[in-house]
Amino acid sequence: MPQPKVKLVVTGDDFGYCERRKQGIVDCFKAGGISNVSLLVNAVSAEHAAELAKRNHIPIGLHANLSEGLPVSQDLKGSTLLNKDGFFHGKMGFREVLQSGQLKTSEVEAELRAQVNRFCELVGHMPYHMDGHQHVHILPEVREVFAQVLSDFGITYTRVPIEPGLKFCTFLPPRLRDFNAQVEKDALESIEVFHRHGIRWPDVYLGLSTMGKKMSVSSLKRALGFTLEASLDDRVTSPLIQSNDAATDSYCPVTAELMVHPGYPSQPHQGGCGEGPDDFSQSADRLHELNTLRDPLVLNYYRQQGIHLCAFKDF
């Protein structure tokens, strides 16, 4: 069998968010559309999701959540992480509190450690990787604490969301382009921190330009084209390279992660992380991603192009 050109981790985020999202992710894995999942341990279906991962031998990591729902730590009463109702501040609210200088990083650390421990209780082993729900892990100040927690627990891999070609995706709505640009800026500034703590990540990240309705067979091919074009020489000189393998081996495939959010859409008032499901989870986009990822045209494209789906634990 020829060596793969690309080792691609296709990660289904938000595993455990609700019964329907969870089942859709499992069905996508069984169909060969994803190869890895990221678990929300504070979500309502987290426990059953962990059981399904064990039963179906699904590689699993931790989707650290500091922005949606209830905390895992029992020691955060009156915390700067929480609003007056005891919930996290939300995707943008978390960023606003952080920018105001009011967030206590000691509380961020306590919650991250509690989530890792909860993951181990549910799954029975350490996460194979750990990333951040809504990209909170790369935010200023948070990234230092996040990297230290990973280092302390011996979690090797994370996600660095810098997507090649993203700046040319003018088809994305202006607000989303602005948010993605900030995500990439934060990610670039996280590289030195993660390097310093010995944290690694795949050579290429994909997923910001292919979310929801923007995901199609052609958009996935476009995004993956950047990965296929990444030559060994490019990777050796890239600031993202973390491994010495490329310098010592005569052959080393490009590694990549594709972030996806497949599933059957949440029903109103069912699921979430303590406040019910959000619009993102109730959107028909979740089913659209599920059907696109398991489309035979996509799966055949992987085989034709030498793209081998794998998990972080396979690196």
Residues 6+ apart with CB under 8 A from 300: none
The single residue of 13, 14, 186, 203 carrying the catalytic annotation is 13
CB neighbours of 312 closer than 8 A, spacing ≥ 6?
9, 36, 59, 61, 128, 129, 156, 157
Active site residue 295: no
Q: Which two tokens stand for residue 155?
A: 């979690």
Active site residues: 13
